[in-house]
A and B are shown apart, each in its own frame.
Chain A
Amino acid sequence: MAIDFPADLKEKIENERISYGAAASIRFLGREDRTAVCEFLEDLRPSASVMKEFSEHILDISKRDGVSAAGIINAPDIKGITAADCSRKIKTEKIRKLLREKRYPSLSAKENELKTVVKQLSLPANISLIYPANFEGKKVSLTIRFENTGELTECLDEINKKRDLLREFLKIL
């Protein structure tokens, strides 16, 4: 049982200009906003899953802030990226980050806080720190990759030296 899309979206899906997942969100917008979002996505041509993500974020932000979807896309911050002289791939990544920050301001702020401490920790490449997705939970895992006991001792010393920063890291979670 497929979704009954408006004709303009149906045509875009059939011609593979817009992904089905993106259209599933865009259908809730008015005609003018639908056209604006489709043009935006057709110019950027991200993957189907990123199209879906962009469409969901635009719809959510539009509802929350009472701003039209066209208004979001044409805001100076987004326009600044789309008009810049760089590859579509870079533009897509920058817009992805920006839209996510707009959709999830508190989550993004927490993530940035955490990233700052992780940066300060500057753990060597053979140690990785994994924390729970979306801050759901407090359990952290630390992986050490080593080939001999010397490397292991070095890693353990490094971790020990950075105990205070690790404590700060845990506090944020």
Chain B
Amino acid sequence: MNSLKFSEIYFTKDAENFPLSKKIFSAFKTARKIPVESPKELYFSPQNAPEKVSQSKKALFLTVKKNNFIEKCPGTKEHLCCNYFVAKNILGCPADCSYCYLQAYLNIRAITVFVNTNDFLRDFEKAATGHTLRIGTGEFSDSLFLDNVIDVNKSLIEICSRTDSLLELKTKSADVTKLLKLNHRGKTVMAWSLNPFSLAKTEEKGTSPPSERISAAAQCSANGYPVAFHFDPLIDFNGWEKAYEELIERLFAEISPKNIAWISLGALRYDPKIKPVIYSRFPDSKILCGEFVRGNDGKDRYLKYTRMKMFSKINGFLKKFDRNMKVYLCMETPEVWKHSFGKLPSDIPRLNSVFTPVPRAHVEKNFRKW
């Protein structure tokens, strides 16, 4: 993301005087500053007014969150969960990927930034201490796109360097310069979502090209960071096999498998509510033209035979470079796991660090499910 521009900055009264708010006001001087009494003033229904999703990428909403910055990913019914924890300091993303679930999930017409950074960091440190968790900031936003202004990653990296937990910074940005020399002690995993070059061009607006993401990963790797890659969402299109194979070859031309913390595969899935939003905002996109069927969790997924074929093929492409890489499926059924990988994650010892659940008592005491 080369240059961030926002036309409006909404803020609640209690957020106005936080140092981060002042920094944001000063960084985007031309943006109109609009006080709001309550977030409700910014609510909208993405399905009924998709054009407002586009507007929401050009506005910020500064507010204060009291607690529950860290939540356990709830997983979905009858699908295996990878025990991920999500840090929520930003809700929304300035990039514009056609398939992004946030388009229908978020109902505030601005990117929300919780400006009470110290409370967020306190919550984060509490969560990261005492148990080994994988915590990421890349579920409700991109971990890097806004960091030149928000500037929270260096604190998160520092906190994790003192704990047993792993921070995952998940992004489609290639701007990693300011992170390279930080003292991460191998506790921060720099992660990129990857899709073939042709798809990224049409479906991932406002992001760095995959070749630049891979080069950024190589830079991070050279500076000792473990790196991770998410082939998610995998998209079924004419020529997908060749396109993903080329992408993987390109990846391993620059990255050594031994520096890879994990790789996830996830086929395109969506809440049916997002369909009108995608059709309206991306009229030329064909991503919803595949054969999707409703799963037991209410989400639409490719027919399982398509998913299984994609997972086993891509796993095969990856395993050509290293048989022992930690490759896992995101939100998949036991049946699809067995068919695609021959085993369940519980039967793959190298995935223990990913799939072993955090003790329930610890989760119930410290986290809310989103």
Contact = CB atoms under 8 A, between A and B. Distances in A.
Interface residues of B, number: 24
A20 B78 CA distance: 33
Nearest to A137: B335
Interface in A79-107: 103-107
Interface in A37-65: 59-60, 63-64
Given A2-B48, A64-B289, A104-B291, A138 B335 contact: yes
B222 to A, nearest CB: 43
B296 interface: yes
Contacts of B45: 1
Interface string B102-143: 000000000000000000000000000000000000000000
Interface residues of A, number: 23
Contacts of B335: 137-138
A134 B300 CA distance: 11
Contacts of B47: 3
B280 interface: yes
A1 B335 CA distance: 41
Contact of A106 (B48, B78, B288, B305): B305
Interface of A: 1-4, 24-25, 28, 59-60, 63-64, 103-107, 110, 133-138
A13 to B, nearest CB: 14
Contacts of A106: 291, 303, 305-306
B304 interface: yes
Given A134-B303, A137-B335, A107 B291 contact: yes
A49 to B, nearest CB: 14
B303 A63 contact: no
A28 B48 contact: no
A2 B44 CA distance: 11
Contact of A107 (B48, B283, B293): B293
A37 B365 CA distance: 55
B312 to A, nearest CB: 17
Given A1-B44, A106-B291, A59 B304 contact: no
23 contacts: A1-B45, A2-B48, A3-B48, A3-B49, A4-B49, A24-B276, A59-B279, A60-B288, A63-B288, A104-B293, A106-B303, A106-B305, A107-B291, A110-B303, A133-B293, A134-B294, A135-B293, A135-B303, A136-B293, A136-B304, A136-B333, A137-B78, A137-B296
